[in-house]
Amino acid sequence: MSKGTLNRKYFTRKNKMFSWLSNDDTKKKNAEVFENVACGLRSIYKNKLLPLESAYHFHDFHSPALDDPDFEAKPMIMLVGQYSTGKTTFIRYLLERDFPGIRIGPEPTTDSFIAVMHSDKDGIIPGNALVVDPKKQFRPLSKFGNAFLNRFQCSLVNSQVLKGISIVDTPGILSGEKQRVDRGYDFTGVLEWFAERVDRIILLFDAHKLDISDEFKRSIEALKGHDDKIRIILNKADMVDHQQLMRVYGALMWSLGKVLQTPEVARVYIGSFWDQPLRYDSNRKLFEAEEQDLFKDLEQLPRNAALRKLNDLIKRARLAKVHAYIISSLRKDMPSVFGKESKKKELIKNLDQIYLQLQREHQISPGDFPDIKKMQQELMNHDFTKFAALKPRLLEVVDAMLANDIAKLMEQIPLEDTQNNVQQTTIVKGGVFSGVQDTSTPFGFNRFEGIEAGRGETDWIVAKEKVKYDEIFERLQGSDGRVAGSAAKAEMVKSKLPNTVLAKVWKLADVDKDGMLDSEEFALAMHLINVKLDGHDLPEELPVHLIPPTKRPFAGGDDE
């Protein structure tokens, strides 16, 4: 096969692979669930939780009040990695086009945090303008200062993919540099801010140049606590051959084990996420399978994002309740006239006692309480006499919210979920699975391979190897020109396949169901065994192109 054909094949395959992204139905469905839930969450937050938060200065202590964009923001993916690991190329691969401000190259290229988002018109919004835009969720980022804002931008792209997700490109981590000092802003702080808000963090490693610098390790540490969001890609795997890839993969797992320190083994997707010819294409099959897995995961994001937002709000409501108990209890213990300052100091010092007492009184688990040191620090800056007393009414509203409203929204998600599943059984074939079961081009995943080999050809594919199988057949056949079950079994078990599989082969190959195999059926049985040994699955029914020509329903014309 010439290199040109190979490239063309690769491109066609890739285009099909992404048809899920343009699959309007699934997309719309996912987007709807997300919107419904987001809208519901926003209204219960504003009406039920926010009053409690405001009454007890929750925003000073824990996190700022949530704004509309916080609820409406699309699920986000953030790419993190050392420089030149292919982060920007990955985005280009997803979008299948350039975005404004894109820079790709072997040297450190991306120097800014770039939020790639959807808009009908392409364009760039610089950081300073971005953090004052009430429609975007980036306002809190202004706290990282001007040095950061000059290195922050939003690239607007009219791309179907971005209607479902937003993507954050980050500057590559440089080795031997203090990211904070040399960059002039708190790099890991920004990473942490995004990590908290995005739905997926994709860590990229370069198979061709695997090294995990201390700087990168520190950044990964900043992502701790979000392990569930992390996915790992061993990128540029096309640059190395089979043996090198095995070694690199092993080395990566070993290093990751040290950095991530989770009891589970991390899932690493091996692949090459760009639209250029694969340098070594010996692992092509593997890349395709890995890519399928990764994209299935990403495709689920809009639905999972709704769940995650719901989850976050529940967590927030529980914290707000505990916070209200703490603040009101501090208020209660303050003297009305003298000794306010000394009493405040005493209360802060004995905060652990107050925690204990509240745990007992309201039966709250210790894990629901905020970090004691942080709380003590923040309390110093507050005037306790300005704190509000306990307002049971506000708490009741939040309890009711947790019991009823949240449950109602929760119900919506699984409901939509099953509807999606129903859809997926019909669509996934054309949608996510387009690569797998794509039938419109020869480049669908596994197409024309295994059991599919020979489909659409005029010649019976088994005939190609039949001479070889005939030799064995000659040896085994009885006087009637057929092979009996016992003789066939003795030959077939040589494949070392388990009996359940061989039974299936037998059932498929004995086309006329006479309990014997003639020479064509025998050849077919051997062909099916090879298909299975090559790592492909056997179907429930024999596809028409594998039926021996003489046994096809309208066999007449096919006889040669």
Ligand X SMILES: Nc1nc2c(ncn2[C@@H]2O[C@H](COP(=O)(O)OP(=O)(O)OP(=O)(O)O)[C@@H](O)[C@H]2O)c(=O)[nH]1
H-run or E-run covering 260: helix 242-260
Q: Which is nearer to ligand X, 231 or 309 (CB)?
A: 231
Strands 200-206 and 230-235: parallel
Q: Residue from 83, 193, 194, 216 that binds ligand X (CB under 6 A)?
A: 83
Query: Nearest to ligand X by Cβ — which residue?
Result: 172
Q: Does 166 bind Mg ion (CB under 5 A)?
A: no
Q: Does 235 bind Mg ion (CB under 5 A)?
A: no
Q: Residue from 13, 26, 70, 81 that binds ligand X (CB under 6 A)?
A: 81
CA-CA-CA-CA torsion for 40, 45, 47, 48, nearest 10 degrees? 120
Q: Which is nearer to Mg ion, 110 or 179 (CB)?
A: 110
Residue matched to tokens 């969720």: 137
Q: Which is nearer to ligand X, 113 or 445 (CB)?
A: 113
Across-strand partners of 77?
Answer: 167, 200
Specify the stretch interacting with ligand X by CB under 6 A; choose among 69-77, 98-106, 359-367, 530-538: 98-106
Q: What angle do CA 351, 355, 360 make, to 5 degrees?
A: 150
Q: Which is nearer to Mg ion, 40 or 86 (CB)?
A: 86
Q: Which is nearer to ligand X, 185 or 387 (CB)?
A: 185
- Nearest-angstrom CA–CA distance, 29 and 420: 7
Q: Residue from 172, 302, 435, 454 that binds ligand X (CB under 6 A)?
A: 172
Q: Which is nearer to ligand X, 104 or 251 (CB)?
A: 104
Q: Does 85 bind Mg ion (CB under 5 A)?
A: no
Cβ neighbours of 391 (radius 10 Å): 15
Q: Does 209 bind ligand X (CB under 6 A)?
A: no
Binding mask 463-502 vs ligand X (x if CB under 6 A, - otherwise)? ----------------------------------------
Q: Which among ligand X, Mg ion, none contacts residue 106 (Cβ within 5 to 8 A by kind)?
A: ligand X
Q: Which among ligand X, Mg ion, none contacts residue 85 (Cβ within 5 to 8 A by kind)?
A: ligand X
Residue 157, both tokens: 């792209």
- Nearest-angstrom CA–CA distance, 343 and 350: 10
Q: Does 188 bind Mg ion (CB under 5 A)?
A: no
Q: Does 89 bind Mg ion (CB under 5 A)?
A: no
Task: Name the residue among 334, 275, 269, 303 with its Cα closest to residue 423.
Answer: 303
Q: How far is CA 324 from CA 59, 63, 387, in A?
A: 12, 14, 10
Contacting Mg ion within 105-134 (CB under 5 A): 110
Specify the stretch interacting with Mg ion by CB under 5 A; choose among 18-26, 102-110, 173-181, 222-230: 102-110
Q: How far is the CB of 170 from Mg ion (least distance, A)?
A: 8
Q: Residue from 54, 64, 105, 333 that binds ligand X (CB under 6 A)?
A: 105
How many residues touch Mg ion under the rule CB under 5 A: the total is 3
Contacting ligand X within 249-308 (CB under 6 A): 272-274, 279
Q: Does 292 bind Mg ion (CB under 5 A)?
A: no
Q: How far is the CB of 74 from Mg ion (least distance, A)?
A: 21
Q: Please tell me what DSSP assigns to residue 150.
A: T
Q: How far is the CB of 189 from ligand X (least distance, A)?
A: 19
Binding mask 219-238 vs ligand X (x if CB under 6 A, - otherwise)? ----------------xx-x
Q: Does 155 bind Mg ion (CB under 5 A)?
A: no
- Nearest-angstrom CA–CA distance, 25 and 30: 9
Distant-in-sequence, close-in-space partners of 349: CB < 8 Å, separation ≥ 6 = none
Task: Name the residue among 105, 128, 102 with its Cα closest to residue 116.
Answer: 102
Q: Does 450 bind ligand X (CB under 6 A)?
A: no
Task: Name the residue among 516, 520, 512, 508 with its Cα closest to residue 467.
Answer: 520
Distant-in-sequence, close-in-space partners of 516: CB < 8 Å, separation ≥ 6 = 480, 482, 483, 484, 485, 510
Q: Which is nearer to Mg ion, 81 or 431 (CB)?
A: 81
Per-position b or e across 288-327, b if 16+ CB within 10 A of its CB: bbbbbebbeebbebbbbbbbebbeebeebbbbbbbbbbbb
Q: How far is the CB of 129 from ligand X (least distance, A)?
A: 23
Are the C-beta atoms of residues 188 and 219 closer than 8 Å to each other? Answer: yes
- Counting Cα atoms < 13 Å in the Cβ hemisphere of 374 gives 8
Full 3-state SS string of 360-411: HHHCCCHHHCCCHHHHHHHHHCCCHHHCCCCCHHHHHHHHHHHHHHHHHHHH
Q: How far is the CB of 165 from ligand X (least distance, A)?
A: 18
What is the contact surface with ligand X in residues (CB under 6 A)?
Answer: 81, 83-89, 104-106, 108-110, 171-172, 235-236, 238-239, 272-274, 279
What is the contact surface with Mg ion in residues (CB under 5 A)?
Answer: 87-88, 110
